[in-house]
Amino acid sequence: MTTQNAIDWPEKYLPGTGDNFVSNEVIVQGLTAARVWHFLTDTSEWEGYYDNVADISFPQGGGPQLKDGLLFRFGTFGFPPLDAHVVEFRAPGDGAPGRLSWTARQDGGPEERLDVLHAWLVEDLPGGRVRVLTQETQHGRPAAALAQERPNPMLNGHQAWLDGLVSAASK
């Protein structure tokens, strides 16, 4: 029997406690967690394989490589650039999965306020396979509006990110 790892959730962002939650996963052969990790954590690669991200910047310096504690900004899903903060960063290795998560916020009045945690888990599986799991919990009225749309733009957008990530890492 093989068990798979899970996202480590801060209580504030537990799945099902926000206004929107999505979960996407791929398992593919012929890639390693280390190879996928490069394309996930180097933000200079994102716009090359994912068309729903733009205007990536690092207001306090650093980047384009993500790391623990890094502050960055990016636009996605038509929102003005969100202020993001890497809150978990552990590269895959020694049988442990890679773990990456960031919070992202948009301030403003109640109609604009948004607070999210976007988490990633990248792990090698037996048989030359890699598993990439991404999940996001969102709080705020813009998140609630997204959750009501059909098809769900977050679910489809994150699947496009996963598909692009796998494609980029496969080249």
CATH architecture of the domain 15-50+88-170 equals 2-Layer Sandwich (3.30)
Domain definitions of the chain by residue range: 15-50+88-170
State the first-to-last Cα distance of the chain, in angstroms, to the nearest integer.
32
Do residues 77 and 90 make contact, with C-beta atoms less than 8 angstroms apart?
A: no
- Please name which of 86, 89, 90, 95 lies closest in space to residue 32, comparing C-alpha atoms: 95
**Strand locations in 39-126 (E):** 53-57, 71-76, 82-90, 98-106, 114-125
120-138 pLDDT, tens digit each: 999 999 999 999 999 999 9
Q: What is the CA radius of gyration of the chain?
A: 16
Q: Is residue 55 over pLDDT 90?
A: yes
Instruction: Please tell me whether residue 107 adopts helix, strand or coil conformation.
Output: coil
111 compared with 139, residue with greater pLDDT: 139
pLDDT band at 42 (very low <50, low <70, confident <90, very high): very high
pLDDT band at 80 (very low <50, low <70, confident <90, very high): confident
